Structure 1
Amino acid sequence: MRVKMILPALTEATSPFFRPIKYSLFPPLGLATLAGHLDPGDDVTITDEHVQEVDTSNEPDLVVIQVYITSARRAYELADLYRAKGVYVCLGGLHVTSLPEEAARHADTIFCGPGEDIWPAFLSELRRGCPRSRYDSKQRSLAGLPPIRRDLIARHLYLVPNSIVVSRGCPHVCDFCYKEAFFEGGRSFYTQTVDAALAEIDRLPGRHLYFLDDHLLGNARFATALFDGMRGMGRLWQAAGTVQTVLRPGLLEKAVDAGLRSLFVGFETVNAGNLTEQRKWQNVDRDYGAVIRRLHDLGVMVNGSFVFGMDEDDASVFDRTVEWAVGQGMETATFHILTPYPGTRLYQRMSAAGRMLHHDWDRYDTRQVVFEPARLTARQLEEGYRRAYRDFYRWGSILRGARTQPTLRGKTRHVAYAGGWKKFEPLWDLAIRAKRVGHGLPALETILSGFGSQPAERTRDHGDPVDRGRTVRT
């Protein structure tokens, strides 16, 4: 059987000016995981439109397309094209699960939820000539998965080819989170066995890893055993965690001993009222400043995530957030405009209140306002979002953040990482076009290898954000 798997480009990744490096970071691991279930004799290809052109001239037996909300238009376009040729087309992913009736108009079969149980069932029924039009995931387990087909990935086209996922979902249920809708109908957080995770890590070449898990530290027992098993492997790795788990005694130290050098942390907001509104319970009454100090004291870089436009946000939120993040010495920050994705509780609330402005999925990219904010105009929210990015990544802000580091080496690493991530995006675009992004990996490893050795004593007192009465404590 000839199988073509496609990850269509996200709308925001197709800028005519330059393509940010973040869209060439990771290969399509989900498709490579599904490919592991195919027979050895099947002819399989994976095309990631972020780094490759989709060749639509061929006519495979089966086309499988992974769909996100801002790639939906392109995904449906490709699906309709192949179906017109008589090719059997399957659609799956977050957007398909959220809006199955919409997706079903463009596919022979749709998949709702994770694919570990439903994809093998589909393949079996397809080979018998009786595939169903819809498969809904119910049985959630990562036990006994076949090896990921990494041989189908063009490693040189990605800065971080060694991406890995050892769990699914998240133990928390934040109202704005898209993933919660994806896991409806079954377990929403589950892990591999530790032995299987370690075996997958051992198969990966080089030193650097990036765990794409929504919450790698979400199961403390699993994470502890995983980190114990990784000690001595000589790996340098990055991952995502929560404020709550960073403050948990002992777990972070084990992660650092195993090679953790950078952590993505969902701070989300400096307004405490927003946390309760969005059911972000794991952040309520947490000391944000202590989180950053704890990570920095262990030599771990911080990539903080912030969302603007929640109902407690007014026009002051942008400057206050940036000022706090820069003052804390946060190496990188990711800003978003609150986006009510279909299938989430946030969307249901906004829709019931008549606050949704439109359903143009191309614009649901966390860079544009798609709902009516409570204390801001749409223009204020979009302009404030852009200003936050601009102000955080000014050279002056980068240098001010670097000054919070206690050593010259730490200051240099801060400038190299923060500056390299945002200030050189046009150069990254040239590397993407020349298909040489992978050449940047040694530089990334060099920067990361310098972390993990910071002194425990901090030389600077990190102050509170303004308006203490309405902000998260720091």
Structure 2
Amino acid sequence: MTHELPKKMADPPALDPRQSPPPRRRHALLVNPFYRKDPHASFGKHVLTPTLALTSVAAATPPDWSVAYWDENLLQGPPPLEPFPSVVGISVHLTFARRAYELSRYYRQRGAKVVLGGLHVLSCPDEAALHADALALGEGVGLWPRILADADRGALEPRYFGSFTAPFREDPPPRRALLPRQHFLTSTSLMATRGCHNRCGFCYLATRGLAMPYQMRDPAEIAAEWRAEGTPYAVFLDNNLSSSPGYLSRLCQALAPLDKIWSAAVSIDVTDRPELVRQMALSGCTAVFVGFESLRGENLAEARKKTPRPEDYARRVELLHDVGIAVNGSFVLGFDQDGPDVFARTVDWIEAARLECATFHILTPYPGTPLYARLNAEGRILHQDWDLYDTAHVVFRPARMSERELAEGYSECYSRLFSAGSIWRRRPARASELPSYLAMSALYKRSNALWPLLIERGLTARVWHPMVEAARRRHVAFRRRLAASGAARGYFAPAYAGV
């Protein structure tokens, strides 16, 4: 399998060198900058569903302003020149900070005011301030109207401070009408909760200055929002949808009547309550993303991750499989207790547990996290080229292997996982699920050569939607059988009274 990266997935689009028209008053542009794709992973995951950050900010735009949205990763080139914005808001993540700064320079030179926000701005504000007219430090939805008002009267402040303590439920629905829906597998990305009961030392949620209390939205509002969208499939972008079992139960009750399908990130301890797992399936959950992170308890303890014993992972995966929920496992490579044997051992376990998919990450010390502070104090940080802090490159000195061994082992994990042999060994036990599993496996990774074409020509939705609708129909039939079998045993998932 080749790991060559097509140019359009490796390099950002060239910015338009022509002279721009004068900025249009009260017109804002929100930009998601280009980032280099990992050739080992699926290109398809980048168009699974849109992020909510910018469409949520767009929803807070005052009615006397116009606003446009542009995602450079949809391969449509740079943002158009006309209408030229008077204010540009750019989301800044660590791995595309350089591109964000390049865009900022381009627009500032042409008379627009540029506002930078996002996690990298929060963790490295002094760096970001060199490239912006203003910084949004904190929750952007609440800050955006004030920023636009100040910009309109020529009185932008250099820094705007917000928090994540404002009631999450009061945020307006994302402005999805701005999205080019044809480029995404589904345009329905939802967020029911904010925060996580874990605070792992390597996770961006542990970034210094990011205080995000756990909050929940009314399940009925989530169901109504999705019903209005009219799409058959939704992706929950919550950090951990299962942090509150009681809330998840109530959410499942609200989603079940929709006869739709959904996926979400959960922690594996959701299987502490088999009846809740069953309720997830009956409400349309077809797949979960689980951060296993490591098969060694010492690594999990070092990362301060609260999770069941790794020795019990396989049994818990089986509980999910028993009710038709597929598992995409996330694994971090390069912890201090990891040696060169971690790669084969991890993939062996994935195959034995029959995970439908897996995602690998090289341990990456994000600035502002406890992990970065520790490795920096130990003199193990190799550089600060943020473009390479993408979990696909080695940016620190490992404890029990060389940098080269870690990089090559990471590549080998993906090569094994997406080989025809591994895909076959991980096939589902139910023969009825085999055709869809093989089709999804082929399209997800082994068709990487096709993904740039699908994305660029806006064919993603057209190709995927028939498969998604077929999957929805199969799952509706499956959960009716599941409900009937439960009724025969008197086995119904209760609504949890607590959280």
- Distance in 2, matches of 1:382 and 1:444, equals 35
Question: What is aligned with 1:169?
Answer: 195
Question: What is aligned with 2:466?
Answer: 442
Matches within 5 A, 1:253-264: 253-264=278-289
Is 1:234–1:259's contact at 8 Å kept on the other side of the alignment?
yes
Question: What is aligned with 1:420?
Answer: 443
Question: What is aligned with 1:378?
Answer: 403
Relative to structure 1, is the Cα distance of residues 235 and 19 closer, same or farther in structure 2, using a 3 angstrom cutoff?
closer
Question: What is aligned with 1:460?
Answer: none
Matches within 5 A, 1:146-225: 146-181=172-207, 184=209, 186-225=211-250
Q: Residue 404 of structure 2 aligns to a residue in which SS? A: helix
For 1:70, the aligned partner's letter is T
Question: What is aligned with 1:36?
Answer: 59
Matches within 5 A, 1:51-66: 51=74, 52-55=76-79, 57-58=81-82, 59-66=84-91
Is 2:186–2:231's contact at 8 Å kept on the other side of the alignment?
no
For 1:424, the aligned partner's letter is S
Is 1:176–1:339's contact at 8 Å kept on the other side of the alignment?
yes
Alpha-carbon displacement from aligned partner over 1:421-444 (angstroms, at most 9, x marks no partner): 111111222212322111112213
Q: Residue 89 of structure 1 aligns to a residue in which SS? A: strand
For 2:141, the aligned partner's letter is E
Question: What is aligned with 2:5?
Answer: none
Question: What is aligned with 1:22?
Answer: 45
- Distance in 1, matches of 2:122 and 2:466, equals 38
Is 1:18–1:426's contact at 8 Å kept on the other side of the alignment?
no
Question: What is aligned with 1:46?
Answer: 69
- Distance in 2, matches of 1:450 and 1:247, equals 27
Q: Percent identity at matched positions? A: 36
Q: Residue 73 of structure 2 aligns to a residue in which SS? A: coil
Q: Which moved more, 1:20-29 or 1:361-370?
A: 20-29
Question: What is aligned with 1:78?
Answer: 103
Alpha-carbon displacement from aligned partner over 1:346-383 (angstroms, at most 9, x marks no partner): 00110011100000011111111000000010100010
Q: Which moved more, 1:24-33 or 1:50-59?
A: 50-59
Is 1:162–1:208's contact at 8 Å kept on the other side of the alignment?
yes
- Measure how far apart 1:152 and its partner are: 0.5
Matches within 5 A, 1:311-460: 311-402=336-427, 405-439=428-462, 440-447=464-471, 449-451=473-475, 453=478
- Distance in 2, matches of 1:86 and 1:444, equals 45
Relative to structure 1, is the Cα distance of residues 447 and 230 closer, same or farther in structure 2, using a 3 angstrom cutoff?
closer
- Distance in 1, matches of 2:80 and 2:211, equals 36
- Distance in 2, matches of 1:415 and 1:79, equals 43
- Distance in 2, matches of 1:96 and 1:435, equals 31
Question: What is aligned with 1:295?
Answer: 320
- Distance in 1, matches of 2:437 and 2:42, equals 23
Q: Residue 267 of structure 1 aligns to a residue in which SS? A: strand
- Measure how far apart 1:114 and its partner are: 2.3
Question: What is aligned with 1:87?
Answer: 112
- Distance in 2, matches of 1:430 and 1:294, equals 38
- TM-score scaled by structure 1? 0.90
- Distance in 2, matches of 1:377 and 1:259, equals 44
Is 1:338–1:366's contact at 8 Å kept on the other side of the alignment?
yes
Structure 2's unaligned 5+ residue stretches are: 1-25, 483-499
Aligned positions, number: 451
- Distance in 2, matches of 1:71 and 1:283, equals 34
Relative to structure 1, is the Cα distance of residues 248 and 132 closer, same or farther in structure 2, using a 3 angstrom cutoff?
farther
Question: What is aligned with 2:497?
Answer: none
Question: What is aligned with 1:99?
Answer: 124
Question: What is aligned with 2:493?
Answer: none
- Distance in 2, matches of 1:319 and 1:210, equals 31
Q: Which moved more, 1:238-247 or 1:375-384?
A: 238-247
- Measure how far apart 1:338 and its partner are: 0.5
Q: Residue 37 of structure 2 aligns to a residue in which SS? A: helix
- Measure how far apart 1:129 and its partner are: 4.4
What is the aligned-residue RMSD (CA, Å)? Answer: 2.2
- Distance in 1, matches of 2:154 and 2:456, equals 42
